[in-house]
């Protein structure tokens, strides 16, 4: 039986629900990412969720850790710190050290110890164990750039969410368009989705079906066409490859050899529901992923598909 607060909210009386219920609909939410604790996207989502009355904490890498996948560094000391910006008192980061050979003239040839960032998985783990151990939900992102199809295997954003799911905590990975200029719009849409998640669950349910997470990718918010429940699928519009000139990624690396990207072959006929195709059409893609094989069942998938319908209506407002 739903609580009175949820009955009021589902009856399209959200203002009354907010006035009468307030914190009853609030969640303990841990935010993490792979872009670093100071990134505008995670800060905007922190503010939006706090405004909705949730208890929100950030545990993120010290510096950008994109494409680190599920990597973690073990057996060395980890240092945790907090954001010095007074607007984000609940923001934490993790870093560690690594030994290497110095190449600069001042210490050339010497073994030196360097400060390096903790990985997304390390940050999410720290958040769940030390910052907000009673989290109702972990949100990883919003990432600066899409995480689609096969590339999710290499994504720090996706793998931080997967770690939470494996720990039994409901998790969502969120990625925005690389050219998105309005972190506040992205944050607003995700905050509205969280409201719908909370309203659609029964009091004895987790925020998401057990062992199922969501991978959400948003097109540029100025041109959203709707929302679609998709498959993660195989298709990605680009491939990782070695390139002879890295200037397309970083002008300072012009003429240097390294790993970059190239456009992929066109999608195949059976890729029609892949999230990458629908994001390219201007749709918010919502794909489920499991922490273990056979974790999804028909009723859970039906519950998640309703969210795409909710978000399509909300994004049109």
pLDDT digits (tens, 9 = 90+) for 220-232: 999 999 999 999 9
What mean pLDDT comes out for the span 33-54? 97
Helix pair angle (40-51, 183-200), 10° resolution: 40
pLDDT of residue 297: 66
Contact residues for 133 (Cβ-Cβ < 8 A; gap 6+): none
Average pLDDT, the chain: 88
pLDDT > 80? residue 49: yes
Is residue 247 located within the same domain as residue 309? no
pLDDT of residue 13: 43
Is residue 200 located within the same domain as residue 259? no
pLDDT of residue 191: 96
Say if residues 88 and 55 touch (Cβ distance below 8 Å).
Answer: no
Is residue 209 located within the same domain as residue 184? yes
Distance between CA atoms of residues 95 and 84, nearest Å: 15
Distance between CA atoms of residues 213 and 229, nearest Å: 13
In a domain, 311, yes or no: yes
Which of 238, 229, 227, 225 minimizes the C-alpha distance to 148? 238
In a domain, 99, yes or no: no
* pLDDT classification of 7: cutoffs 50, 70, 90: very low
Is residue 35 located within the same domain as residue 159? yes
Q: In the numeric block, which tokens belong to residue 21?
A: 């219920």
Distance between CA atoms of residues 37 and 42, nearest Å: 7
14-18, 157-161, 272-276, range with greatest mean pLDDT: 157-161
pLDDT > 90? residue 25: no
Is residue 166 located within the same domain as residue 294? yes
Tell me: the pLDDT tens digits for 73-116? 999 999 999 999 999 999 999 999 999 999 889 898 899 989 99
Higher pLDDT, 19 or 307: 307
Tell me: the pLDDT tens digits for 199-217? 887 777 788 988 899 999 9
Is residue 205 located within the same domain as residue 297? yes
In terms of DSSP H, where are the helices of 52-182? 120-126, 156-166
Task: Tell me the residue range of the domain where 257 lies.
Answer: 237-267
Give the CB-side neighbour count of residue 9, counting CA atoms within 13 A: 21
In terms of DSSP H, where are the helices of the chain? 4-10, 14-20, 40-51, 120-126, 156-166, 183-200, 275-280, 298-316
pLDDT of residue 317: 66
* pLDDT classification of 132: cutoffs 50, 70, 90: very high
Whole-prediction pTM: 0.86
What mean pLDDT comes out for the span 192-197? 92
Q: Which residue has the tokens 């399209």?
A: 12
In a domain, 109, yes or no: no
pLDDT of residue 224: 95
* pLDDT classification of 1: cutoffs 50, 70, 90: very low
Contact residues for 230 (Cβ-Cβ < 8 A; gap 6+): 273, 274, 275, 278, 285, 286, 287
Is residue 135 located within the same domain as residue 253? no
* pLDDT classification of 9: cutoffs 50, 70, 90: very low
Is residue 186 located within the same domain as residue 88? yes
Distance between CA atoms of residues 250 and 257, nearest Å: 12
Which of 262, 265, 276 minimizes the C-alpha distance to 234? 276
What mean pLDDT comes out for the span 279-286? 95
Is residue 156 located within the same domain as residue 241? no
Is residue 210 located within the same domain as residue 302? yes
Total domains, the chain: 2
CA 279 to chain centre: 16
pLDDT > 80? residue 3: no
Say if residues 286 and 216 touch (Cβ distance below 8 Å).
Answer: yes
Distance between CA atoms of residues 33 and 143, nearest Å: 7
What mean pLDDT comes out for the span 240-244? 95
């Amino acid at each position: 039986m739903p609580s009175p607060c949820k009955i009021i909210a589902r009856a399209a009386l959200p203002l009354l629900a907010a006035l009468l219920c307030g914190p009853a609909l609030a969640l303990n939410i841990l935010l993490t990412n792979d872009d670093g604790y100071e990134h505008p996207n995670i800060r905007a989502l922190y503010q939006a969720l706090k405004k909705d009355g949730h208890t929100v904490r950030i545990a993120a890498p010290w510096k950008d850790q994109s494409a680190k996948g599920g990597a973690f560094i073990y057996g060395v000391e980890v240092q945790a710190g907090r954001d010095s910006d007074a607007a984000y008192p609940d923001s934490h980061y993790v870093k560690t050290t690594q030994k290497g050979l110095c190449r600069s003239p001042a210490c050339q040839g010497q073994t030196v110890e360097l400060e390096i960032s903790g990985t997304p998985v390390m940050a999410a783990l720290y958040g769940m164990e030390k910052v907000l151990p009673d989290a109702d939900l972990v949100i990883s992102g919003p990432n600066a750039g899409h995480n689609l199809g096969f590339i999710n295997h290499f994504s720090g954003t996706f793998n931080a969410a997967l770690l939470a799911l494996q720990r039994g905590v409901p998790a969502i990975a969120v990625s925005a368009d690389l050219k998105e200029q309005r972190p506040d719009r992205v944050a607003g849409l995700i905050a509205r989705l969280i409201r719908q998640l909370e309203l659609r669950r029964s009091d004895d349910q987790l925020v998401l079906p057990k062992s199922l997470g969501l991978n959400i990718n948003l097109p540029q918010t100025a041109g959203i066409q709707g929302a679609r429940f998709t498959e993660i699928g195989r298709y990605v519009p680009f491939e990782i490859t070695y390139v002879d000139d890295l200037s397309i990624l970083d002008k300072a690396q012009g003429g240097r050899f390294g790993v970059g990207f190239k456009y992929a072959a066109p999608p195949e006929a059976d890729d029609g529901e892949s999230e990458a195709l629908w994001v390219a059409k201007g749709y918010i893609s919502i794909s489920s992923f499991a922490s273990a094989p056979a974790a999804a069942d028909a009723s859970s998938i039906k519950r998640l598909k309703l969210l795409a319908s909710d978000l399509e209506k909300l994004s049109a407002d």
